[in-house]
Amino acid sequence: MTSEEQSQGLNGMDLIIDGWFHERGELWPGQAMSLKVEEVLYHGRSDFQDVLVFKSANHGNVLVLDGVIQVTERDEFAYQEMMAHIPLFAHPKPEKVLVIGGGDGGILREIAKHPGVKEIFICEIDGDVIKYSKQFLPSLAKGFDDPRVTTKVMDGAKFMDENQASFDVIITDSSDPIGPASVLFETPFYSAMHKSLRDGGIVCTQGESMWLHLDLIEPLVSAISKFFTTVEYAYTSIPTYPSGQIGFIIAGKNCGSVKVPATVPTDEQLETMKYYSPDIHKASFVLPRFAEKAIFKKK
């Protein structure tokens, strides 16, 4: 690879070989996820990262950033629903919500199912993610259509610095801790989230995979614990994420445990959900012994 190619970053098209996309991330060495490609719908480089969208044989349209699968239409609900509804149903009365990242719109779609929420802000640093999600992932990007949504294409940390003690729930829907998302896994960002929360507020951040990233998760939990009164870890099953699983770090500012919902979905809300339920909310915090011991230092 030439120095010019290195400066331009990864090229997602290089990961399509013989009609198959092969995800070979540096955070999960020695394993790969492959999907059969029917058609490349878009490929280009934004100001921040490589953006690839393709139509797959069995998983619908797929969004890939810097070579890593972010969304497939087949299983995205397992992630979007849990990341949104765990903190929203754990909070007794969320009215003002902030999403950091999440430019595909899926988290917005789920937040919009909560009629008590009055204002929804999203800060996505890469406008191209929003643009091409609206074009190729309309079932997710319809979240942007809710009149309560205000979209900010800017750095989330800067927005939080400008909006202290403002939000009941903050959801950080980030990619992995490399590239433009790396700042979202650093201590100053957790401090900014804490300051931007109202008293009694809850944050939910992408928490990587217990099968692959315990060396990342444990220090993340430790760093967040310096700012928040409660820090807990939940997870969801999603086939197209590394090892078929991803976690959430959920922390509260002067509030109790979020393991039990403070409110529950109405029958009408449940009809719109494929994964989340009050039972799975509670069950998602029950960790295998190896993960519980590593993350929370339990014997």
User: Which positions are catalytic?
Assistant: 173
Record the tokens describing residue 261, joined without a space: 């919902």
Residue 254: CA count within 13 A, CB half-sphere: 8
DSSP string spanning 40-83?
EEEEEE-SSSEEEEEEESSS-EEEEETTEEEEETTTHHHHHHHH
Taking the C-alpha atoms of residue 152 and residue 125, their distance in angstroms, rounded to an integer, is 8
Alpha helices in 137-242 (DSSP H): 138-141, 156-161, 187-196, 214-225
Cβ-based neighbours of 121, under 8 Å, separated by 6 or more: 96, 97, 98, 99, 149, 150, 152, 159, 167
Taking the C-alpha atoms of residue 239 and residue 236, their distance in angstroms, rounded to an integer, is 10
Taking the C-alpha atoms of residue 176 and residue 246, their distance in angstroms, rounded to an integer, is 11
Helix-strand-coil percent breakdown of the chain, rounded to 5?
Answer: 35, 30, 35
